[in-house]
Structure 1
């Protein structure tokens, strides 16, 4: 049972005194008394009155001691108990921070949530939370002007305790009370909904505020082992004059504020590194992770914790020196590099307080980026030495390719795999990063901008890992906002930046885009004749992708188009690429007829390490890695080898696949269209007898499975399987008109008009129609019969700018151009 007795709580007594002592009248009296005593002291000193001088001096010193005691002791008073020891029957007042106690003492009625909220917003840290939540002064005034909402005081503190424990806080502070109000006050809960905030969002914003407004612990309150290295510890370390020429002192830069480290959610990694670096044997560890995952940040965090005495004892007050390979190699003549390395290693060993950091350790192990420089042999003996500690970093691919091949070198390191932070951890890392981004660009970053940065970078920035890619995106957005003379970085700024870089619209569709999505079928029908089922399926997929948040990594849509040649399967894919990705060029096309043997798998995902084709990578994986926002067209997929089809099962289902080097390639932002002519004759026959389309589709799929063309598990991976019907002669005439309209639009750019009579359209349709090949011969016919003739007339100057060319049929049933 929660009990609240502020009158018997020491922290509330201190809070009451602080409120009294910092009140305006008392502050005025303190200033006046101090000024009088100071003037009296000056006058006494000038008049030579020793008695008055001594008396005024005594009072002045006493006042100064009181002020110091108030500022550095009373104002920093902490609760005597923490929440880890709370039990039924305890006085909840004993668990509140001084600031929270002060706020509650100002509230006339603690059951009135409006009054509590009014007093809370006088705190700058609470205003920080509201501002970053996009809650304006007008929003606050509406809440305060609304009807008073009363709750039992026990309910307020029960929720406050829950929020404090959720964030592993020792005491209940003003933020916990604010969070409780957002849950208990209907007006604030409604405001939270209007601002599209969830409970977790508020927790993240409060985390941000706590980091910004965290108190610095005075040195006299720190434990002795956190006061810095002793004099003898400093004297016992060796000189590193030669080493400093070829390294960067991270510890010194952290001390001067030139570097910033933010460790969020890396506790297990830090613990593992500490165990390796503090053991009695060899002390070497390499951090393996993708670019941007935070390997260097972890090193900086270690250096910062070591500097403040917050690591295990053997690692405290160590100097973290980063090897500068450029300086090490600069002007190094024959034998000079060996001397430099020998001196550096000797000094590091004898210093006793240096941890050497080698970033991108593959650069000293024969990688192409370092022109195959291999100096690992110089480190072998050093790495076995228990007096030397070395930390390296690398990516999984580079470690496997350049370091693991040198087993004698690689086995001397413990490997720590660095996993990407969760989305929530990434948000909190970005909140820390905002502290350095905001002053640099003179902007204010809203929480929604941070949230959107993590969400969109995770989805659209494929080549790097969180949190690095999100930090880079946020920095870029801040730069853009500053250049546009704006002050707030908002979620719309992040969306605009992603859209600009990927050419894919993100965010909620509005205006003309909403209208276009609603009428997508009509847009696609401008290029595709008939084929209603196909148009409907792809349109619905795009609408879902643009409006509903996806919870899986599957591709945007995976379609199988079945039908005879020349009925519009490939044209639908092109129209889809143009509609969703902005251009037909955003399409990667594979003729699966070229992947009929079992070795085709390596052509798609790459050859294994060690083979001559390894560096080239896979045709599929490299294409998608370079352009992850694309449509992948798999033409005539029924002709691919069974192992190739199995390869695509995982892509269709999980949205990713590992290439030959082990790198994960994401297909999450792709549309995948597979086409097949399998069963074309059956489709023609079924359409010929007017078989219902749904029955046709069912019978066709059963036939394809019976004949072993496609397996059930393969067909089940598609979002939609669409059957394309053969084109009738009337539909071919409509296709002819579309192709001629495209030609007319092209020559209109040369200021030439093209008119085609209905007779000419019909003539071309009849000549270009083929029951077996559909409309496919039409393009060649128009190129040969129309475009070639126009080209000759342009060259002979029969057709010039401003001309109108009419195409018709003469009495001999031939095309004529007038």
Structure 2
């Protein structure tokens, strides 16, 4: 056994972290101690040697370290010339050098991963100065300033023992060939019948897509091309690929072609990476095993390959795979939306060009009808559930209106699949209009009023509904009822959010209560989650916080994540004026087109949301803030809004709704409403207590529960402190064993009074 010495240059990043670099290689690692660092690097070298009989060359026998200080003037370079900065920098570079076996000398400049040989020790200083200055002068000013912050490194070494005489046995493959990495990261495809049944109630069929299936088969098996199926969400991209691969698999078995098929998610490639360069090694092994298995790999969510692995597309898994694809060493298929394909062409053109594109468009209404008939026939024959023709017609109509951003047949397959699962769980043998309406309400929260054209809208009841919940704000009530009427009539713009409002007015006058009332009316009938998404815009006061709101790279932001989870919802952007103005530019597309598209072409749809922004702009002009008999007119608020926001943003908002200051009668009504809500609490219900509040208590709470600065905000605290807590103490001290009436009042001595009258 011989030993190879690798110089190890390590930098103390902080008290608990060391960054180590094997000089003369691209291998780096991070660990908390020198021993751990050396162990990690040695483990990697041994793994490479054992698996591939390969290791990086290293010829320096006794490496040494010298820190060389150089002066350089940073400069920007372009086609127009060189533009030096005024200051000269002093930069210290580590130089690793030593004698090699043949009597010469080798010198490494690890910072730039460059090296050179020299023949006499006296040449060292001059050559180091020349090579280092050349590299520094070519570096950008940004890199030079980063180099100044590097800590002083320390030199150590790692020893790898090798046998120069050993005969290499390629991987230990038996005639049965087990693929360790491939089996760990990917799933064999097609799945077994039992696996398929667990994934979907419907078969993997590409009805009405025969032409696309034949085209995919020809390109995948005939010309051995990498194929990308491109179409809108729901057009049947996965079904086309599934059908093509199944047919190729059947042909392969009959003709003994030996094809194998695999399916993989991009994030699994890097999920198990432990050190720098680990996932690259995994990908190389994956490509090697696919070649040995004569494999074709289907990558789900292809665009994620550009987001996985590095900091950007240029050092991502996609970039690493590009050479394998271009050289024909890897056979890959996948799918993408047109926006995702465009982003791949923009961010990593060479990767996108490695694929043959098959575009599939929208199905006609007649074709969609045929697909739904096929689904119904399959359900009747195999699942013993009948999907009635009128139910299929209703599904088509509802999805066409309320899911306009997704395509047929995908959205119909998804909805009918959920309806079938629901019917089987209820042991129902038929799906009719009633079952379709019920399932649609559960999925969207929309009331039956919107889903059934034959149900008329009672306009008086509608206005009463909102007036009971929004007190003292007639303009707000009118605005919300108008939204309901337009939506019921089907006249809202399907390519924008259902509506967008800016609620302006002083604090504590009912803006948030109005938002809650609208969300409950529109989307509160069946969803398990709250239909109200609230985002505090005061948390986004700086431009760099836009990524936390919208998202960047792999991670979606708060706004995108919430709406993807609850597409049917009211979106409340609270205190919107406190957000940085640059954030409003990102919201223009949301208000104008109802979508947000990230850098990778992924869409988030807002066309089933109602966007409401609240603001206190203009409230400072009031003579009595929060409540009173005087209030500024709408023009003052509109003027304040137009001064703060850009015109193109204001013009995209459907309506500015001004909330008035509360009058004395409104204050009493709100107090009575809140007290009425207390009667429904569990403690009163389970004891059978009938609660009655006397007028003196109502007036007292109205007086202390409203504040000139905060409006109605303190009322809840006043209720808890002056009513709920004293009543709770009384109920614990006087257990109620039979129904009765509890009269709660307020005495002249400024005390709460409780009078219990048991029923006879």
Q: TM-score range by the shorter chain?
A: 0.5 to 0.7
Q: 2:569 aligns with which of 610, 623, 630?
A: 630
Q: 2:550 aligns with which of 580, 586, 605?
A: 605
Q: 1:590 aligns with which of 535, 539, 542?
A: 535
| 1:624 Cα deviation from its structure 2 partner | 0.9
Q: Which residue of 2 aligns with 1:702?
A: 639
Judge conservation of contact 2:189–2:263 (CA < 8 Å) in 1. Answer: no
Q: Which residue of 2 aligns with 1:670?
A: 609
In terms of fraction of residues, the more helix-rich structure is: 1
Judge conservation of contact 1:602–1:618 (CA < 8 Å) in 2. Answer: yes
Q: Which residue of 1 aligns with 2:727?
A: 790
Q: Distance in 2 between matches of 1:367 and 1:644?
A: 24
1:501-529: CA deviations, max 9, x gaps? Answer: 33323575679985666512212222221
Q: 1:730 aligns with which of 665, 689, 697?
A: 665
Q: Which residue of 2 aligns with 1:655?
A: 594
Q: Which residue of 2 aligns with 1:539?
A: 481
Judge conservation of contact 2:628–2:661 (CA < 8 Å) in 1. Answer: no
Q: TM-score scaled by structure 2?
A: 0.59
Q: Which residue of 1 aligns with 2:651?
A: 716
Count how many residue pairs are aligned between Structure 1 and Structure 2: 540
**Counterparts in 2 of 1:393-408, with a 5 A limit?**
393=335
Q: 1:524 aligns with which of 440, 443, 466?
A: 466
For the residue of structure 1 that corresponds to 2:543, the secondary structure is coil
Q: Distance in 1 between matches of 2:297 and 2:364?
A: 26
Q: Distance in 2 between matches of 1:713 and 1:656?
A: 17
Judge conservation of contact 2:342–2:601 (CA < 8 Å) in 1. Answer: no
Q: 1:264 aligns with which of 191, 208, 225?
A: 208
Q: Distance in 2 between matches of 1:336 and 1:675?
A: 51
Query: What is the alpha-carbon root mean square deviation over aligned residues?
Result: 5.2
Judge conservation of contact 2:496–2:592 (CA < 8 Å) in 1. Answer: yes
**Counterparts in 2 of 1:287-302, with a 5 A limit?**
287=229, 293-302=235-244
In terms of fraction of residues, the more strand-rich structure is: 2
Q: 2:490 aligns with which of 525, 548, 573?
A: 548
Q: Distance in 2 between matches of 1:296 and 1:731?
A: 58
Judge conservation of contact 2:227–2:355 (CA < 8 Å) in 1. Answer: yes
Q: Distance in 1 between matches of 2:303 and 2:230?
A: 14
Q: Which residue of 2 aligns with 1:806?
A: 743
Structure 1: gaps spanning 5 or more residues: 1-239, 310-315, 330-334, 349-354
Structure 1 residue 358 corresponds to structure 2 residue 304: no
Q: 2:394 aligns with which of 437, 452, 475?
A: 452
| 1:585 Cα deviation from its structure 2 partner | 3.2
Q: Distance in 1 between matches of 2:494 and 2:231?
A: 23
Residues 1:393 and 1:632: Cα distance change in structure 2 (over 3 Å) = closer
Deviates more, 1:675-684 or 1:259-268: 259-268
Structure 1 residue 473 corresponds to structure 2 residue 410: no
Residues 1:266 and 1:534: Cα distance change in structure 2 (over 3 Å) = farther
Q: 1:762 aligns with which of 685, 699, 707?
A: 699
Structure 1 residue 645 corresponds to structure 2 residue 580: no
**Counterparts in 2 of 1:293-332, with a 5 A limit?**
293-302=235-244, 323-324=261-262
Residues 1:717 and 1:679: Cα distance change in structure 2 (over 3 Å) = same
| 1:597 Cα deviation from its structure 2 partner | 1.6
1:203-257: CA deviations, max 9, x gaps? Answer: xxxxxxxxxxxxxxxxxxxxxxxxxxxxxxxxxxxxx99799996579999xxxx
Structure 1 residue 440 corresponds to structure 2 residue 377: no
1:626-665: CA deviations, max 9, x gaps? Answer: 1112211122212222122222222222222124654211
Structure 1 residue 580 corresponds to structure 2 residue 518: no
Considering only CA atoms, is the larger Rg found in Structure 1 or Structure 2? 1
Deviates more, 1:264-273 or 1:562-571: 264-273
Q: Which residue of 2 aligns with 1:749?
A: 685
**Counterparts in 2 of 1:211-360, with a 5 A limit?**
261-264=205-208, 274=218, 283-287=225-229, 293-302=235-244, 323-324=261-262, 345=291, 348=294, 356=296, 358=298, 360=300
Residues 1:588 and 1:716: Cα distance change in structure 2 (over 3 Å) = same
Judge conservation of contact 1:560–1:674 (CA < 8 Å) in 2. Answer: yes
Residues 1:367 and 1:652: Cα distance change in structure 2 (over 3 Å) = closer
Q: Distance in 2 between matches of 1:765 and 1:811?
A: 16
Structure 2: gaps spanning 5 or more residues: 1-174, 195-201, 269-280, 310-315, 756-760
1:9-44: CA deviations, max 9, x gaps? Answer: xxxxxxxxxxxxxxxxxxxxxxxxxxxxxxxxxxxx
Residues 1:631 and 1:720: Cα distance change in structure 2 (over 3 Å) = same
For the residue of structure 1 that corresponds to 2:500, the secondary structure is strand
Q: 1:429 aligns with which of 366, 371, 389?
A: 371
For the residue of structure 1 that corresponds to 2:469, the secondary structure is coil
Q: Distance in 1 between matches of 2:573 and 2:243?
A: 48
Q: Distance in 2 between matches of 1:422 and 1:491?
A: 23
